[in-house]
Structure 1
Amino acid sequence: MTTPNPAKLVLASGEVFRGTGFGATGTTLGEAVFTTGMTGYQETMTDPSYHRQIVVCTAPQIGNTGWNDEDGESRGDHIWVAGLVIRDLAHRVSNWRAARTLEEEMQAQNIIGIKGVDTRALTRRLRTEGSISAGIFSGDDAERSDEELVEIVRSQPEMAGADLAGDVSADEAYIVEPEGEHRFTVVAYDMGIKTNTPRNFAARGIRTVVVPSGTPFDKIKEYNPDGVFVSNGPGDPATADDMVAVVRDVLKADIPFFGICFGNQILGRALGMETYKLKFGHRGINVPVKNHLTGKIDITAQNHGFALKGEPGKPFDTDFGPAIVTHTCLNDGVVEGVALESGRAYSVQYHPEAAAGPHDANPLFDQFIALLEGAK
């Protein structure tokens, strides 16, 4: 038996949730958010879009599948979440692919967690009042007074206005080669790209040149791309003026464009739309989205705290021709996709690479292939 490690989850509002620490011991700060996925915690924790966020899992038991060496969604299997909040930690790993336990990996990567928290009450609070600055304090750090810990939590920067893509983006360009015949070359901007995205491109014969966020348009022209892609990523899209300018250059050059998540917000801004911070965001693998062009409904994987302002199905003028909001969330009406009516550029707010998550939206990659073929 190990000695219990006292821990506190402290919210900027002054609320304190007590539990037991697991993983590394110490202090971590971030924005408290919740995810409704019942599986896929490894993919969630390694998703760069969760940078600077303390993730609350609504599923009551976490850790039962352990940690493997295949399912990480960042290069080097790096964990990006600031901390993890759960109800129960599985005592035993029960998956044949597991190489170690969740707690062992968290200790190795110095990630702090807290268990034994009433995550139902916490999730209701975040859903009602909204995502909020928070901190996990364990070990000796948890012995400090609640008032002192609240002040530490309140002193951290807010997520609104945070420019974080540079923190998670690759330092230099790299190439993911296609499987089989090379059909197209796509430049992918790494705003926090998940590894399953280039894998989906590769399976369709695409050579993916992954470039750091903010790479100038003149630089990517050297690769003579058939198309340009902008990935998911963390932070406030209102800070991404450089990427908006790049995408406008892409559209002016009439290069086929595809974006997901952060890339959807960037395309929207390039088309003249505004963004705003959601109350508690969409994070999970069961979010229903309606395609207003086809009437089809997909169950999608999502992770975003910001969104575009717009009306579904209503065309609007842009510098690049008419555009339209193509998708919205059936839960709350949030914009989930936008496109030029010409079809040369489109994006969605959710994750068609589905890691983890349902595969309903995977045909969006085939749509990009059709766009590249038509352009040629």
Structure 2
Amino acid sequence: MRAFVFTDKSLASEAGRFVWLEIDTEKSRNAPFRKQFPIEALPTFLIVDPAEQNVALRWVGGATASQLRRLLDDGRLAVAGGGPEPAGRAGASSGDRPPEADRLLLRADALYGQGDNAGAAKAYQEALAAAPEGWGRYGRTVESLLFALQRTQASEEAAKLAREAYPRLRSTPSAANVAASGLDAALELPAESAARQELVAALEADAREVVADTTAPMAADDRSGAFGSLLDAREDAKDDQGAKQVASEWAAFLEREAARARTPEERAVFDPHRLSAYLKLGEPKRAIPMLEASERDLPGDYNPPARLAVALKAMKRWDDALAASDRALSKAYGPRRLGILQTRADIYSGRGDAGSARRTLEEALSAAEAMPEGQRSESTIASIKKKLQASP
């Protein structure tokens, strides 16, 4: 978003309409903000009512410039207390009484902003049920509802919603997220679920359509996410050849996008997904040149050396991986250090140094337990403890 969307000149008119704030969730000084405004996934965009200090509108995930402009319009109106202006009706004016769907959406957005995913899901469903034909907020409502359903473990409901909504959202900016989120939800269903096989097959076809449609107006990282979901589906089917084919197509897509980048920051946006694709192909060596370039071009960023450590670990270049890990740790802070330390423990294990691996996990556990409220993650602590219990 920072590299591709916020630099879009069409957003210049929005600069004076809001007080803009970017929060680095890894820094301990921002833990109170995270406590007041819990962040469930990154990126998350919040439009905060300055008078009430509550979230008027929340958006989880990326967005195109046009989507962001619409979100900002809706957020401004929500803060003003009037709710969204009529959407999707020919000839509607600002003086028109908003349709029922828009009033219900205002309530759903408020619940979603509070982090009440269960309440928001019900309210979003009510808004969709009341929506007129051609309602302009259909896409963002479906995307928010999908996230709320997945956070409440309503996987079958989420998958069925995506399957129903996708034909209407085909070739729109919402298509990739709807297809990918729906497929992810279907894959989460237990094997004995009667609906699982049909939903996975249908949503996999939708996701394949998304990645094949190169003309649809959607963010490159959203289309990349659809590739990732397709790869998960092939692995779930134990189709090694199919998974390798998807990974190869994914890597080729990302390489084309990276080649179009105008700046190192734009190019580095694709580094994590490219690394994932290369690892799935069993070709971590392909990641080394891009990560070395990113580390050189972005010397203050801990991500390139942290990712280099992962790639070098996969290549069993233990000493080089530890050196990359050292460089990452010298720049990293907050919760991100925990992942780097766990990778470092794996490197020590790989080269047969069980003692150093255990000490590194103990360091990670100590750091995780010392995190302030707002950054502390009980699931991360439990995961590190489990690794320690399994270590020699």
Structure with more strand by fraction: 1
Higher relative contact order (CA 8 A, sep 6+): 1
Q: Same fold (TM over 0.5)?
A: no
Structure 1 or 2, whichever has the larger Rg, is 2
Structure with more helix by fraction: 2
User: Which category of TM-score, normalised to the shorter sequence, fits these structures?
Assistant: under 0.3
